[in-house]
Amino acid sequence: MIKRKRKLTAQQEKFVDLMAKGYHEGPDPTKMTVMDAFKLAGYSPDKGNAYRLYKDLKSIIRERRDDLVEENQVASLATKIIEDIMVNPEIRPEIRLKAAQDILHRTGHDKPKEVNLKQTVSDLSDAELDEQLSELIESSDNVKQLKQG
User: What are 37-83's pLDDT values in tens digits?
Assistant: 888 888 888 888 888 888 888 888 888 888 888 887 877 877 788 88
Predicted confidence at residue 110, as pLDDT, reads 66
CB atoms within 10 A of CB 32: 19
User: How far apart (Å, rounded) are the C-alpha atoms in residues 99 and 25?
Assistant: 36
| CA distances (Å), origin 123, targets 126, 129, 132, 133, 142 | 10, 9, 13, 15, 28
Is the CB of residue 49 less than 8 Å from the CB of residue 68? no
Model confidence pLDDT, tens digit, residues 36-46: 888 888 888 88
Is the CB of residue 61 less than 8 Å from the CB of residue 19? yes
pLDDT surpassing 50 at residue 139: yes
